[in-house]
Amino acid sequence: MRINKEGYKIICISGAVCVFIFWLIYHLLVSDSNISLLWVSAVLLLLFWFFIVAFFRDPRRVRIHDADLVFSPCDGRVVVTEVVKETEYLNEEMLQISIFMSVTNVHMNWVPVGGTVEYFKYHPGRFLVAWHPKSSTEYERTTTVVRMASGRKVLFRQIAGLIARRIISYMKVGEPVEQNSVCGFIKFGSRVDVLVPKDSELLVEIGDPVVGSQTPIARLHKI
């Protein structure tokens, strides 16, 4: 199993903490009469550490290219599909598809379309449940707009939730990006919004599970 580079530090720190806790239990709490406590503690600490390691897994996935399709930028489940007025940059009605990631999902993020990064901004904000309707405008988030070769623009947001407290984005204005390449990481549960042109064909429904860089969520109208 490959590990994403964003997890190296947390995995090392959590491993050291688990070893220290085990040492405390061994030297302060365990006696001959309750040796079973040592084994239970060891199992629980190992399970916790393996969960941290698994959270930062970096799956091997085939990179798909299709200029007519918008792919899911993350693993998770569709929680919103609606037409909204985008006011931060595009200032037009867009079809919004929101995907919620639980703590058990892979938390890498992928670019849903290929093109050039036209706009990027980090927004500090609140930390509440990621499925809240105001998460797109009030929570800590990043906004990225990719201009495709056809001239069409797709916007996506990384949104921090109640547990997720750090958003990492590799996007830089003016740089070309390849469809389904890695664009960032959100630590410990969150949400991603994708806004596509209003006339796009929706390919998913609320409740559908999606796989980042593999599941098409919308088909763009041909110009």
The residues assigned a catalytic role are 190
Q: At what angle do helices 8-24 and 35-55 cross, to 10 degrees?
A: 170
DSSP 65: -
Across-strand partners of 83?
95
- CA dist list (Å): 51 to 46, 48, 57, 153: 9, 5, 10, 37
Give the H/E segment covering residue 197.
Answer: strand 190-197
Residues 201, 197: Cα–Cα separation, whole Å: 9
Q: 197 and 70 in contact (C-beta within 8 Å)?
A: no
